[in-house]
Structures are given as C-alpha cells and as structure tokens.
Amino acid sequence: MTKGVAITGMGIISAIGNNVGENFKSLSSLSHGISYPEILDTVHKKLPVGEIKFSNKDLAEKLGLKSGHSFTRAALFGAIAATEAISEAGISENQLKDTGFISGSSVGGMDMTEKYYKEFKGSEENRRFIQAQHPGFTTTQIADHIGFKGFVTTPSTACSSSANAIMLGARLIKAGKLKRVVVGGTDCLTKFTLNGFNSLMILSSERCKPFDENRNGLNLGEGAAYLVLEDEEILKGKKVLGRITGYGNSNDAYHQTASSETGEGAYLAMNEALKSADISSEEIDYINAHGTATKNNDLSESRALQRIFGKIVPEFSSTKSYTGHSLAAAGSMEAVFSILSLQHNQIFPNLNFQTPIKETGLYPVQEGTRKILKNILSNSFGFGGNCTSLIFSTNGE
Amino acid sequence: MYINGIAGISAQDENSIFSGAPLKYHKNIIPAVYPDFKEFIPAMALRRMSKAVKMGLTASKMALKDAGISHPDAIITGTGQGCKQDTEKFLESILDNQEGLLAPTSFIQSTHNTVGGQIALNLKSYVYNVTYTQNSGSFESALIDAQVRFMENPNTQPVLVGGVDEISSVITSFLYLDQQLKREQISNLELLKSKTPGTITSEGAHFFVISAKPYTNTYAELIDVTLFGAESPEVVVTRLNEFLIKNNTSEEDIDLVILGNNGDSRYDHFYNQLQKGIFSNITQLAYKHLSGDYNTVSGFAMWLGCKIFKTGKIPQSLKINTTEGSKPEKILLYNHYLGENHSFILLGTP
C-alpha cells in the first residue's frame, strides 16, 4: 500500500455547520440541513435545498470585509473554510507565501451575474462584479484574502471539481512540484443551477432519498471545504489527520449529463484509485458514495460498485442526505466527512432510505455505525462524464 | 515533453500571418475565422453545439490528426470563461421568464467542462479528463497538469491539451462596461500603439498533442511552464530568473520572446519593463494585435512558437523591436491579464 499524501488540516462550511466540529456533531446526531430557500432569491420556495442560513452580509462580517467588497458568495464560503483549514494545520503567514491553492468551482460568481445581469448596462454601481462570473475570480479572491502566493488554479469539472482539486494537489506533492497546498472547492446556491437542475427534472420536492428504489431526485446544497496537504519533508512531527492514498479519474464518455447504465466511468475511476493506492477492493472499509438520489446516478453508481466489489459491497452511504448536493464543493465536503469517519471510526448513515433499488438490491448504512476504519473510498461524478474517486486512509502508525 | 501535433482556430488564418498580410478588423470584439466544422463534426451534432464546443472539438481533432494518433492518454482542457453562449441563453431565459418553464439544453451545455466532455464523447475516450478555469492561467494550468502526468509516469502515451474561449453577445459586451475593452473602436493592427485603457478581444481554440519523447515530426520541446502572481514587474523579473535557473537556461540562451502586450495603458508596463531590461538584446514579438486578447490566448502564442520552429520564419508583423537574432533555438512566452495570472512557457527546438 502506498504511504499517501499527508492531510494536516481541514475546514468546512455547509448546511449542517459552520466548521468541522459542527459538521461532525450534525452527522453524528443524524441531523440534516435540508430546508426551503430563505436566502436564495427564487420563486421556487418549495424546492428543498441545503442552504447555509447566513446572508452575504453576515458572512462578510464574519470575515471582517469592508463594505463595497467584491466577494461572491462562493468566495465568502471559501474564505471561511480555508481559514479554518490553515488554522488547524498551523500554517504561518510566512508559510502561506509558498503554499498553493487549488479550488474547484462550477458556478463561480454566477450568483452576482444573475443578480446584476440586467443592471450592468444602466448602472455603474455593481460593475466590479462583471469579472466575478468566471470561477477563477472566486479562487483568486480567496487566495488574496488568505495570502496564498504559490500556484493557484481552479479545476471545473462540474460536480467532481473539488475531487479533482484534491487529486491534483496530491499529485503535485508526490511529483515534488509543491511542498504544501490547500485543496478543495466552493459553490453557492444560485437561481441558475436551481432552475437548471429543475429543467432537467432531477430535483426532488422532498428530502432526497439516496439509493432508495423510490428516490425522485436531488436537493441542491452549498458550501465550501478544504484540506491542507503537506509533503513528508516539511511535516516535522506535525499531527497527520489522514492520508490521500489513492485517486482515479475517468470519463464515462456516454452522455453530456447522464451516466451510463453500467457506470463505466465510475467503475474505471474506482478501479484506478484502488490501483494507485495499491490495495485490493477488500481493503475498502466504507464508501462515501456520490449518491445524488437521482434515478440515473444511484443505479449507475450501484452497478459500478457491484462491478468493483462483487457480491459483497462494503458499507456505504451518501451524506448528501444531510447537506444536499453542493456541486463543485461536494467532493471536498465528503473528503472532510471521510476523514471524520476515519478519525472517529464512525460511519454516518444514509438518511431517508427505505427500499433497496430493484435492479441491484443494495442497502446503504442506515444507522450510526462504529467500526474500525482504515481505508475509505469517496466518489464524485459530474456532468460531462467526469468521474473521480479518492481513497482516504488512516495515518497508519 | 514534446509537442507533436498542433491546431489553431483564431481571428487569423495561418496564411495571413506568415504571408505578411494579417487580417485587419475595425472592431474590438472579433469573431474567429472558422474552419469548415462539417469536415470534423456530423451535421446533426453541429446544430446543437455552441462555438466553444465546435472550435474546441474541431481543433482537438485537427491536432490529433496532425500528430497521427487517434486516442490520447489524457484530455486536459483550459477555458477561462467557459461556454458563455449557452450560459447567456439559459440565464436570459430564467430572468425573462421569472424562472418559469425552461428548456434544459443550454443549461446542460453551460458547464465549463462541456468541451472536454464532448471531446471524450466524440472520441469515445475514457481517459483522464480535467478542465481548468483560472482566468488567463487556464491553458497554463492544463499544461502543468500534463507535465505532472509525464513526471508521474514517463511511459504515459501522448496527451491532448488545449485552450478554448468563445465570445457571446451580451457577456462579452460587458467587457466594455468595466474597461476591459477599449471604449473607442480601433483597428486591430494599431492595438500596440494605443495609449488608452483596455484592449480588444476575440476567441479561439488551440490544441496540442504532447508526448514524453520526440517524434520525427515534432514541432518543439515544451521545456517548462509556470503560473504565478506578481504585483510588480520586479517580481516578474525575480520569477523569471528563478524559472531560467531551474531550467539551466540563462537569458542569453533565449533567442526569441513572445510577449502578451495588449495595448492596455494600465498594464503593458509589465512587458515594457522587461523589453527595456532583461529582454533588450533579444528579438521580441507580440501577437495580440493579430489574435485579440482572451483568457486562453497563450495557446495562440504557443502555436506561433511551434510554427516558427517548424518554418524557420518569423512573421514581420509580429516584431516589436529591431534586434535580429539567429535561427531561434529557445523561445520564451510571457503573458498576464490585468496584472494577474502571469505565466512563462519555455519552448526549445526538438
């Protein structure tokens, strides 16, 4: 088994908490964060979402930003989560100068574009948000706020963006190109995505039911999460929370939005992740599944799981039943949850499940479960066929 | 790393650049000169595709053909602003219908990874596939990912790397409002003489097949690439020196620099300072008066570098100083946009 890349800090803000501790508490007490939109300005008041109940003004105050700032909502989330991550890892201001920052995002500052699109022409007031539409702007805002001066970039592969950010960060450290990098992603709820997924008819009007025969769609969510990755050489006895031991990326090459029936991309990504971790499928103790609760994803992912693991699929669950699907941020949020699982030897159960999917008969974990966990597989799949699987492992003393 | 197949779609065609009569425009938003997309994409599929997808898919197929391979080992795409045409279409339908009933097609095609996904679909390719969107560092991010793939595994087969950006009617026109574009309409060929804020923009797609080893038809060695932040020209010089040392190269070894000057009076001093200083004895080229400026335009610059190596010709219309060098063996590319996402790309003869 490969030793993997050390994770020395993590931070998160989601619908179930403003930091790692609050998220852990919610997951452990099976408390979901699904509600109706109150902050997002939309006519769809009856579509459940995993919304963070702070206005942009509240979030800006938390960060001590002056009025007239040009932070997007995703940048506000990102700055909060990244601050927590570097604080836990004990990164000094001086160390930030050569720390890289890789932050996945799919909609970037679309929240500002949709708010001011019709106003830009007539009024000068909000034109500072014109550039904000493009995800690189949000990443740069977070990097400037924190003071990251190393390599900065933004993977954008829809719902696998932050998983690809984690993968790139781990690869850059392994290849010796970076010593320290903060990786993850951020996305906020927008009218654009809510209406987009609604037009595809894959939003549920109730709390989502991942892996249930009667699942009827996903709940969108929002938030940000980051991990601090550090090279062995600079660890110097620092506490290691867990390790990234495997990663795989593959394209389903089937349809722009739908997953193939056999879950080819998912299968190949998981297979490659196992290969890169140099472990067998039996060594996976738990899977934090992509599990969006759409008809298409959950069947395709279940089939891919059966192809990888055969008759005995390890315990698995989708934590999107707590947070909703936070798109580009989902992969890094679920990375934080996976590391919490490793740290506490605890599986956070899949909520709202009743009946297994007919075609596959798989049961996700339904109750809080304690179990020695060494290796966790985490899946993230997105539009464009982009499939990424990550393996997180204990530090292994 | 070696560049074995190249393809470019831009506001110029190859002939006009190298024949000394670059295409002239008199507007600040310039559409690309489109190839016959039907040669590369079935007509049925073409109807649904935005310009970014048409250009990206076509350029990637041209590059693969040029390299003589059909299936790359990875597909890595950079796009600064993604699929603006479909984003614009879907956003306007949301706003104009007060979130009423909407057709999903433009939403489906609005994500930044649409081009990368469509390449995979078209080639039926399951390989590693990532899209980067880091403003003017998007193409460079894709190159860096490719570089890491070869570092991880020297047996990696050739990979496809490219950059693509399109113009759209409303979102691109916003660039006038925040002074990214010049308020006055200018002739593209006058861009570098301009003394006002802003630039001109265009669109394009540039794809490259990159391998670990040179082929007989190799265009160039891609020696190294770096992406960094710099608040002043002095920081750029420091980063340049670090970059050259890391690559066992000194400034005397550089025969040609291809610079991203875009006629923006607020930001061209980054280039000017290097032109007068460290690059003063080197043949200097600029290209954005031909290509316009957009987030993945360094793909155009890298394409130019490859062409210059291959043909041994340096187009007169690109020269911005009088220094005549020998036949170039090392070419350095430097670019930034609005003082952010600075990058160097170092090319060598194969």
Instruction: Give mean pLDDT in consecutive 10-residue pieces for chain B, a chain of 350 residues.
Output: 98 93 97 97 92 98 97 98 97 96 94 97 97 98 98 95 98 98 97 97 98 94 97 96 97 96 98 96 97 98 97 95 90 98 97
A 49-88 near B (Cβ less than 8 A) = none
For B18, other C-beta atoms within 10 Å of its C-beta total: 20
Same domain assignment for residues B312 and B248: yes
The confidence score (pLDDT) of residue B326 equals 80
Is residue B261 domain-shared with residue B231, that is, in the same domain? yes
User: Rounded to an integer, what distance in angstroms lies between the CA atom of residue B219 and that of residue B211?
Assistant: 11
The CATH number that applies at residue B234 is: 3.40.47.10
* Of B187, B211, B235, the domain-final residue: B211
Beta carbons of B119 and A250 less than 8 angstroms apart: no
Q: ∠ at Cα A298 (A286, A199), nearest 5°?
A: 140
Distances (CA, A) of A301 to A164, A292, A304, A387, B188: 18, 10, 5, 11, 51
Domain region containing B284: 220-348
Which residue is catalytic, options A32, A188, A325, A387? A325
Residue A397's pLDDT is what? 56
Of B211, B230, B261, the one marking the end of a domain is B211
B232 and B169 share one domain: no
Question: With an 8 Å Cβ cutoff, is A168 touching chain B?
Answer: yes
Q: Are residues B177 and B247 in the same domain?
A: no
CB A91 within 8 A of CB A10: no
Test A384 with B117 for CB contact under 8 angstroms: yes
Specify the pLDDT at position B270. 98
Question: Does B38 share its domain with B178?
Answer: yes
Q: What is the pLDDT of residues A69-78, one digit of tens each?
A: 999 999 999 9
Residues written for chain A: 397
What is the interface size between A and B, counted as CB pairs within 8 Å? 194
Q: Of B152, B181, B211, which residue is a domain's last?
A: B211
**If you write DSSP's letter for every residue of A273-335 in order, what string do you get?**
HHHHHT--GGG--EEE------HHHHHHHHHHHHHHHTT-PPEEE-THHHH-B-GGGHHHHHH
User: In CATH terms, is domain A5-235 a member of 3.40.50.300?
Assistant: no
**Which 112-141 residues of chain A touch chain B by CB within 8 A?**
113-114, 117-118, 120-121, 124, 127-128, 130-131, 133-137, 139-140
Structure tokens at B3: 């560049």
Closest among A131, A10, A134, A149 to A80, alpha carbons compared: A10
What span, in angstroms and rounded, lies between the C-alpha atoms of B112 and B131? 7
Q: Of A159, A188, A208, A387, which one is the catalytic site residue?
A: A159
Contact A256 B117 (CB under 8 A): yes
Considering chain A, what percentage of its residues have pLDDT values greater than 70?
A: 100
Other C-beta atoms within 10 Å of B102: how many? 17
HSE toward the beta carbon, residue B153, CA cutoff 13 A: 10
Please indicate, yes or no, whether residues B10 and B76 belong to a single structural domain of this protein: yes
The runs of H, that is alpha helices, within chain A are: 20-28, 56-63, 73-89, 93-96, 110-116, 135-146, 161-174, 191-199, 232-235, 264-277, 295-309, 320-323, 330-344
Residues B176, B115 within the same domain: yes
pLDDT of residue A1: 86
Whether residues B176 and B227 share a domain: the answer is no
pLDDT in tens, A225-243: 999 999 999 999 999 999 9
Tokens of B321: 């100083």
The model's pLDDT over A212-225, given as tens digits with 9 standing for 90+, comes to 999 999 999 999 99
Q: pLDDT tens, A106-155?
A: 999 999 999 999 999 999 999 999 999 999 999 999 999 999 999 999 99
Question: Which chain B residues in 88-117 lie under 8 Å from chain A, judged by CB atoms?
Answer: 90-92, 94-95, 98-99, 101-104, 107-114, 116-117
> What total number of domains does chain B contain?
2
**What does the pLDDT read at residue A21?**
98
Shared-domain flag, residues B183 and B234? no
pLDDT in tens, A202-214: 999 999 999 999 9
Active-site residue, selected from the candidate residues A145, A188, A208, A290: A290
Nearest of B81, B161, B110, B126 to residue A327 by alpha carbon: B110
B64 lies in the same domain as B91: yes
Specify the CATH architecture of the domain A244-393: 3-Layer(aba) Sandwich (3.40)
Instruction: Report residue B98 CA to chain centroid gap.
Output: 37
Residue B325, pLDDT score: 79
In terms of domains, do B206 and B230 share one?
A: no
Q: What is the pLDDT of residue A256?
A: 86
- Say if A154 is an interface residue toward chain B (CB within 8 Å): yes
Distances (CA, A) of A215 to A210, A287, A331, A347: 6, 19, 21, 22
Q: What are phi and psi of A67, to 5 degrees?
A: -65, 155
pLDDT > 90? residue A396: no
Domain boundaries defined on chain A: 5-235, 244-393
Closest Cα of chain A to B193: distance in Å? Answer: 26
- Identify the CA nearest to B173 among candidates B269, B314, B48, B29: B29
ipTM of this predicted structure: 0.97
Q: Same domain, yes or no, for B171 and B29?
A: yes
Give residue B324's pLDDT. 86
Specify whether the CB–CB gap between A211 and B114 falls below 8 A.
Answer: no
> What per-residue confidence (pLDDT) applies to A19?
98
